[in-house]
Amino acid sequence: MKTNLASVAALVAIVVAGPLAVRAQETSTEQPLPNASFEEADGDRPAQWRQQRWSGQATFRHAATGRTGARSVSITSERGGDASWTTAVHVTPFARYRLSGWIRTENVQASNGRGALLNVHQMEETATPALTGNRDWTRVEVEFDVDDQDVLQVNCLFGGWGTATGTAWYDDVRLELLAQREVPEPQIVIDAGQEGEPMSAHVYGQFIEHLGRCIYGGIWAEMLEDRKFYHPVTPEYDPYRALRDSAFPVVGASPWQIVGDPQSVSMDAQDPFVGRHTPLIRADAGLRQRDLGVTQGASYVGYVWLKSAGSGPAAVEVALAWGEGAADRGTVRIEGIGGEYQRFPFDMVAGTTTDQAQFELRVLTGPVLLGTISLMPADHVEGMRADTLRLLRELNSPIYRWPGGNFVSGYDWRDGIGDRDRRPPRTNPAWTGVEHNDFGMHEFVRFCELVKAEPCVTVNTGFGDAHSAAAQLEYCNGGADTHWGARRAANGATEPFRVRHWGIGNEMWGNWQLGYMRLEHYILKQNWVVDTMRAVDADIHCIASGQAGAWSLGLLQNCSDHMDTIAEHFYCQERPGLAAHVRQIPDNIRGKAQFHRQARRDVPSLNGKDIRIAMTEWNYWYGPHAFGELGTRYFLKDALGIAAGVHEYARQSDIIASAFYAQTVNVIGAIKTSRRNAAFETTGLVLKLYRQHFGEHPVHTETAGWIDAQAAWSGDRQRLTLGIVNPTLAPLTVTLDVRGARIKGTGTCWQIADPDPMAHNDPDQTPRVIIEERVVTGLADRVTVQPCSVTLLALDVESP
């Protein structure tokens, strides 16, 4: 029996043989590794092997020498690297294996890694001894057990959990099946009387960042790119710099095309309306933006800020065109434009459905200075997409983290307050594209109100400092009689926002982070920022920026009085094999929890303190970017992993205070949008389902076989809920043994299933993956779950 999805290989024996060792007679069955002696080439690489660099510098070669045959593979690092040649192999679950191979080394020195070795990926115990120094061909091996894994990733590893220097060659890698165990029948044993701590509702938290199409194009309803003319409008119309051949290319130059004489538009830097310059357009010319999504019969509303630059009144015409004909457009004529900027509203109705609509502004009499433009669907909700908000309300997350992410380390929150049309456009400091600053502090707080969630604001501890963070806190929570509280009131919010949850920086342990510094320096900054913020509001909840390992340990040792919880992040990539792919999420959650449990035992300053984990980013992250910058599409197999992750959060409810799925909309989000529609990803359906129906009080749950399962009492303890993940392609009949409660055999069942693990949804298509609901009757000691499925049961129980 096991209390969670099996993940470890039990190390039983490790053997190192010298180059003259004689192999003992074996009765094992060899599990063929692809191109195990590296004799087959695919260009300049060994066929069916790929390179993987984890950190540092490494040079990979398909070497023209070998222990046997003519070829081997090698890895060289002069400055230190952690890298591998990698392949995947299908294996028999619930079996014992031996991994072996031959390694030669030249001047290999382990810096903070191990050296040259073989291992099975993400099974740290399953690693051969590491070789260093100068060694002739030497055989290494390791024996291990697999449980429900059906695919393993084998690495010819250099460095290993750290870096090494020198050169290592690898050849004649073997994987042998030694013995097979009987596959246990799927079984769930529930002790309903053995409860863990209640799950915090905050484990269903969400994270939104100014990245890709999460805010602009996802949550925010603005249809026009670069509406404040950050990029100068020039005759050279070439707007896209990334993802050019995708549905959502990334703007790197002005998306506005000049209509008429190319020399009729110039950028006026004298007293610009917003930003650095304002378009000056002469008569009989104008601007056009392409690739807008409109729906037949839908209304669109907008406005434009205009000022006559001539001696008399000016006139313009704005148009929304959905075709080439004269009748394929709606137009509005704007006259009486004077010598001061004035806001002119307009509205139009689309005559067809298309993603190739165009918006145009033409100057009839002029010249005219064009301050800024806005165009939104008429059903927008205070600037936010109605279709996205509808799904977000169904998702029902209780807390949202904002504005980043890497973005926050270069973000000045003051750019996002005040008159929205006058807020300066900037380059996104961490990602690509233009940051319009249309969605700032007021919009975020209002967004949280609209979806009935708490706000969690991350402050900038990268390029930002303690004084800026304290000012931001006073802006949110200070009374109208304080300096920054008065500024908030002047911007329309007389009552404080009362933001309680504050993230102190983002991933400050990573050298990609703007303002990154060494741990010993950041410890000082963490304490300085928190002290300065608490002087403004002593009741805030501070989340330190952690990363399991030396960084989190250093913060816990030196900053435990300056945090309430500590953040952890993880992302998982695609793994071959359905069960192995699913298992990554709960394994990572469990690994973070185990690290912090050990830290509580090892760090004296934590005695008497209950500093729990805030998993402020977690998800899968891989695959093609179908929805713009980093816009990953998710599949049913990812949904199974997220469900297993919620189960693991239930098991670790005593040490994990919150979790923020990253990110909510587009990018790596639970909801994806096109130009006209929004839809739940498979992962979003799981989060919605569990938020609505999974219990709050986890109980002891043991499983056998392939499944992952977890039970929990409902809040009122009238129902026992049970989540089951089947990470196989066959239906399973699961034996159910419930102790400590008497189930009636009735209830409700919800299911997310499809025979294809790659099944997915798309916002412009009828959803393929859905939540199915049915009434349960006659349930006793068995339940059948469909292939590749998530099943959630809410079972009625008899009163004690």
- Domain positions in the chain: 13-180, 187-194+699-797, 203-213+382-694, 252-377
- The distance of Cα 45 from the centroid of its chain, to the nearest Å, equals 32
pLDDT for 5: 34
Q: State residue 31's pLDDT score.
A: 65
245's CB contacts (< 8 A; 6+ apart) are: none
Q: Within the chain, which residues score under 70 in pLDDT?
A: 1-28, 31
What b-and-e string marks burial along 193-214, b requiring 16 or more CB atoms within 10 Å of the CB? eebbebbbbbbbbbbbbbbbbb
Residue type, 131: L
State phi, psi for 148 to the nearest 5 degrees. Answer: -95, 20
Structure tokens at 194: 């053995």
- Specify whether the CB–CB gap between 748 and 794 falls below 8 A: yes
Sheet holding 187-195, edge to edge: 772-776, 743-753, 789-797, 719-726, 708-713, 697-704, 187-195, 732-739, 782-785
* CA-wise closest residue to 568 among 519, 516, 512, 611: 611
- From the list 739, 667, 690, 84, the residue with the least C-alpha distance to 398 is 690
Tokens matching residue 278:
């304002």
CA dist., res. 313 & res. 337, Å (int): 5
- Distance (Å, whole) CA 81 – CA 57: 5
User: Nearest 5°: phi and psi at 545?
Assistant: -90, 95
CA dist 143 and 9 (Å) reads 9
Domain 187-194+699-797 CATH assignment equals 2.60.40.1180? yes
Phi and psi at 682, nearest 5°, equal -60, -40
Q: Which CATH architecture has domain 252-377?
A: Sandwich (2.60)
- Helix, strand, coil tally for the chain in percent (to 5): 20, 40, 40
What the block records as the tokens of 292 is 């807008």
Phi/psi of residue 60, each to 5°? -105, 140
Q: Which residues pair with 720 in a beta bridge?
A: 713, 795
**Euclidean distance between CA atoms 139 and 693, whole angstroms:** 54
What is the C-alpha separation between 703 and 1, in angstroms, rounded? 6
Nearest to 367, CA basis, from 261, 275, 234, 226: 261
* Widest distance between CA atoms in the chain: 100
Residue 227 DSSP symbol: T
User: What angle is formed at CA 583 by the lines to CA 577 and CA 585, rounded to 5 degrees?
Assistant: 125
Q: Is 412 exposed, middle or buried (0-12, 13-18, 19+ CB in 10 A)?
A: middle
Other Cβ atoms within 10 Å of 658 Cβ, number: 25
Of the candidates 580, 653, 651, 566, the residue with the CA atom closest to the CA atom of residue 614: 566
Which of 169, 156, 161, 127 is CA-nearest to residue 56?
161
**Total length of the chain:** 800
According to DSSP, residue 220 is labeled B
Fold: same for 13-180 and 252-377: yes
DSSP 43: T
CB burial readout 524-563, b (16+ within 10 A) else e: ebbbbbbebbeebbeebbbbbbbbbeebbbbbbebbbebb
Q: Residue 2: what pLDDT?
A: 41
- Determine if residue 477 is left, alpha or beta; phi over 0 gives left, psi from -120 to 50 gives alpha, anything else beta: alpha
3-class SS letters over 275-340:
CCCEEEECCCCEEEEEEEEECCCCEEEEEEEEEECCCCCEEEEEEEECCCCCCCEEEEEEEEECCC
Contact residues for 497 (Cβ-Cβ < 8 A; gap 6+): 441, 445, 455, 476, 477, 488
Q: 226 and 199 in contact (C-beta within 8 Å)?
A: no
Place of tokens 């057990």: 145
Question: What is the reported pLDDT for 15?
Answer: 31
Tokens, residue 168: 């290592």
Tokens of 705: 């076989």
pLDDT at position 28 is 59
| Residue position matching structure tokens 């997350």 | 397
pLDDT digits (tens, 9 = 90+) for 399-426: 999 999 999 999 999 999 999 999 999 9
- Where are the extended beta strands (E) located within 338-384? 342-349, 354-365, 368-377
Helix (H) or strand (E) holding 432: none
- Classify domain 13-180 at the CATH superfamily level: Galactose-binding domain-like (2.60.120.260)
- Supply 717's token pair: 């303890």
Task: Tell me, letter by letter, the H, E, C secondary structure of 159-197.
Answer: ECCCCEEEEEEEEEEEEEEEEECCCCCCEEEEEEEEECC
pLDDT tens-digit series, residues 456-506: 999 999 999 999 999 999 999 999 999 999 999 999 999 999 999 999 999
SS3 for 230-253, per residue? CCCCCCCCCCEEECCCCCCCEECC
Checking phi first, is residue 519 left (phi over 0); if not, alpha (psi -120 to 50) or beta?
alpha
Question: Token digits for 255?
Answer: 């998306």
Given the candidates 3.20.20.80, 2.120.10.30, 3.40.50.300, 3.40.50.720, the CATH classification of the domain at 203-213+382-694 is: 3.20.20.80
Question: Is 446 within 8 Å of 264 (Cβ atoms)?
Answer: no
Rounded distance between C-alpha atoms, residue 620 and residue 682, angstroms: 12
